[in-house]
Amino acid sequence: MKLILTAPVDHVGIPGDIVEVKDGYGRNYLLPRGFAISWSKGAEKQIAGIKRARDAREIRSAEHAAEVRGQLEELRITLNANAGDSGRLFGAVTPADIALAVKKAGGPSIDKRSVEIAKPIKLVGKHTVGIKLTTGVTAHVEIDVTAS
């Protein structure tokens, strides 16, 4: 089955890639989750738009990744969450919440899928999370979770 990826998929490809996968994998996993669209000649026009968006967000080189890591590690990120009197959160802090908080703090736009949380953040306080920029370059950012 020939598909066009719309999201990064481990061991398959990145957005905009035209890939050939087994029918069951494409039909039961990639297509229902929105990770890919069916390939056609008309869909190839969409690839150009996907690649332009990817190039705008993409880390261009190791030096650029180191520069972005420096920017991220200097940020003071505060995240407000609903919490009880004991400091326990109602729910948990998600990677999407962290990506939004980084953007609000003046940092670069990051993809929520690049945020790596070692264990769920369910308490008020300071927590360290990783943001994977490229292979081998991860920024460790301190997030201050406060009760709202």
Domain total for the chain?
2
Instruction: Write out the DSSP string of 88-121.
Output: EEEEEE-HHHHHHHHHHTT-----GGGEE-SS-E
Q: Are residues 67 and 127 part of one domain?
A: yes
| pLDDT interval class at 8 (50, 70, 90) | confident
Mean pLDDT in residue range 13-22: 88
Residue 138 has pLDDT above 90, yes or no: no
**pLDDT score for 14:** 84
- The Cα–Cα gap between 54 and 34 comes to 17
Mean pLDDT in residue range 73-100: 91
Which range marks the domain in which residue 8 is found? Answer: 2-57
Q: Please report, for the domain that includes residue 112, its CATH number.
A: 3.10.430.100
What is the identity of the amino acid at 7?
Answer: A
| pLDDT interval class at 59 (50, 70, 90) | low
Mean pLDDT in residue range 39-49: 78
**pLDDT score for 2:** 92
**pLDDT score for 143:** 93
Q: Are residues 78 and 118 part of one domain?
A: yes
Q: Are residues 112 and 128 part of one domain?
A: yes
Q: Are residues 35 and 72 part of one domain?
A: no
116 Cβ contact list (under 8 Å, min separation 6) = 129, 130, 131, 132, 138
- Evaluate if pTM is beyond 0.75: no
**pLDDT score for 80:** 92
Q: Which residue has the higher pLDDT, 60 or 85?
A: 85
Residue 98 has pLDDT above 90, yes or no: yes
Q: Are residues 40 and 66 part of one domain?
A: no
Q: Please report, for the domain that includes residue 41, its CATH number.
A: 3.40.5.10
Q: Are residues 8 and 80 part of one domain?
A: no
Q: Are residues 85 and 40 part of one domain?
A: no
Both tokens of 95, joined, read 């990677």
- The Cα–Cα gap between 35 and 67 comes to 30
